[in-house]
Amino acid sequence: MVASRRVGTCALRTWKKKSNASSATIPRIVSHHTAADTSIGLPHGWPGRRGGCDCSRARTPRRVVPDTAAIPPWDPYGSAAGDRGERRDRARVRRRRSLRRRLSLLLRRPPRRPRRRQTDLVWRLLDLRPGMEVLDLACGHGRIANRLAARGCRVTGLDSSQPFLDRARTTAGELGVTVDYVHGDMRRLPWTGRFDRVVSWFTAFGYFDDADDRRVLAQAAAALKPGGRLALDLNNYAAVVRTYQASTVVERDGDLLIDRYRLDLLTSRNVVKRTVVRDGRVRHVPYSVRMFTFPELRDRLLDAGFAAVRGFGADGGPLTMDSRRMIVVAER
């Protein structure tokens, strides 16, 4: 007799109470189950635990096979060619669904905070006001600098990448704002006591060795007016270590960004082997970034000449183990 893979004992007892038939007269069910543990197959939905079959895959049986048509108890396909085809089709569908789930996890895009929300956060944490002189340190494409300029700040953006600066200037023209974009090195800033605020956003700090990273903080302090403020947006070391991933893949418009990570605990550096696939061309960009705990970065900022340092989570709330970002605000 063909057996269900799993039959609730409550269902079996209930059936026996309702029928005096011997097990030899019980019709056998050919369904989505394979032959398994018991010698009696019961129709799905037969009264049992909570009023039905306790099988997690319970569904209406396809057909009832007469008792005389014996099927070998461990036949994985059943007696009919149609059953074999249906089983193969279902297995194929399951494999495709599983592949799609894995690809969706592998290629999922990282969550992107809306740019306006980021600008609102910078504005609030730095207590910005129209007319203030602001330096965007490692400004990249100008996503923060251009929006601060649109709110009335006099903004200067500095970056070491000329293509990034060209794109930032183009975007500034499209938005109708004026930003002074400067090609330079954050370790050697050409300004002293000029800015009311300095912002360095989205992990733009920590790419040099420890001596040069300290020099960057000292240069930022020197570029600020007395009472000026610096805001740094970085990865939260505690959250990164707790949820560390060996690799990530980002797909966008057919291009791929593949990062493979290795955390060096002796230097607190996240070592990254980046592969960029764009328009069919492959480019490798290895780099590493220093990971800081808040007390460590606070002490470095105090050594650089800042008087007070505060820490926040990604949304400007308390910094916790679950905060993916660490925002540090230092006042000179």
- My answer on whether 119 and 71 are in the same domain is no
Position 254 in a domain = no
- My answer on whether 28 and 171 are in the same domain is no
Q: How far apart are CA 259 and CA 320, in angstroms?
A: 26
Q: Which residues span the domain enclosing 49?
A: 9-75
- My answer on whether 119 and 62 are in the same domain is no
Q: Which residues touch 281 (CB under 8 Å, ≥6 apart)?
A: none
- My answer on whether 49 and 142 are in the same domain is no
Tokens 């990530």 belong to residue = 248
Residues 101 and 244 sit within 8 Å (Cβ to Cβ)? no
Pairwise pLDDT comparison (100 vs 211), residue with the higher score: 211
- My answer on whether 191 and 325 are in the same domain is yes
Q: How far apart are CA 192 and CA 225, in angstroms?
A: 8
- My answer on whether 228 and 155 are in the same domain is yes
Residues 158 and 165 sit within 8 Å (Cβ to Cβ)? no
Q: What is the pTM of this model?
A: 0.66
Q: What is the mean pLDDT of the chain?
A: 80
CATH number of the domain at 225, please: 3.40.50.150
Q: Which amino acid is at 175?
A: L
Of 21, 53, 75, the position where a domain reaches its end is 75
Position 215 in a domain = yes
Tokens of 238: 């505690």
Smallest CA-to-CA distance from 235 within 187, 285, 293, 306 is with 293
Span 269-315, pLDDT tens digits: 999 999 999 998 999 999 999 999 999 999 999 999 999 999 999 99
Tokens of 202: 């989205």
- My answer on whether 224 and 326 are in the same domain is yes
Split into its structural domains, the chain has a count of: 2
- My answer on whether 179 and 310 are in the same domain is yes
